[in-house]
Amino acid sequence: MTSSTTTPSRKIIHIDMDAFYASVEQRDFPDLRGKPLVVGGDPNGRGVVAAASYEVRKFGVRSAMSCYEARRRCPDVIFVRPRFQVYREVS
């Protein structure tokens, strides 16, 4: 018996969870696909970006950034409030 048959193989998977919430929103609402999207708080208040779509990342918008800064970097950004129960079900 060789060691390769007795030792389990190891797999490493990288998952980009910074866009997960935004991807779920784009899946559920096709009109949001291809558009700069932020899932997070109120852009006029003290909200933060929980997730940023790949389209808005081109403008330097990232998770944990203030929603105010996200709008400053991308004036056409679309903000949606989080639906955590949906994200739990999908994950």
Q: Kindly report the backbone phi and psi dihedral angles of residue 20, in degrees, each rounded to the nearest multiple of 5, phi listed first.
A: -60, -50
- Return all residues near 64 (Cβ < 8 A) that are at least 6 apart: 48, 49
For the segment(s) 16-90, the CATH number from 2.30.40.10, 3.30.360.10, 3.90.1150.110, 3.40.1170.60 is 3.40.1170.60
Q: Using DSSP, state whether 78 is helix, strand or coil.
A: strand
Annotated domain spans of the chain: 16-90
Tell me the pTM.
Answer: 0.80
Residues 21-66 have pLDDT tens digits of 999 999 999 999 999 999 999 888 889 999 999 999 999 999 999 9
Sign of the torsion angle spanned by Cα atoms 20, 24, 27, 32: negative
Residue at token pair 């919430």? 21
Q: Using DSSP, state whether 4 is helix, strand or coil.
A: helix
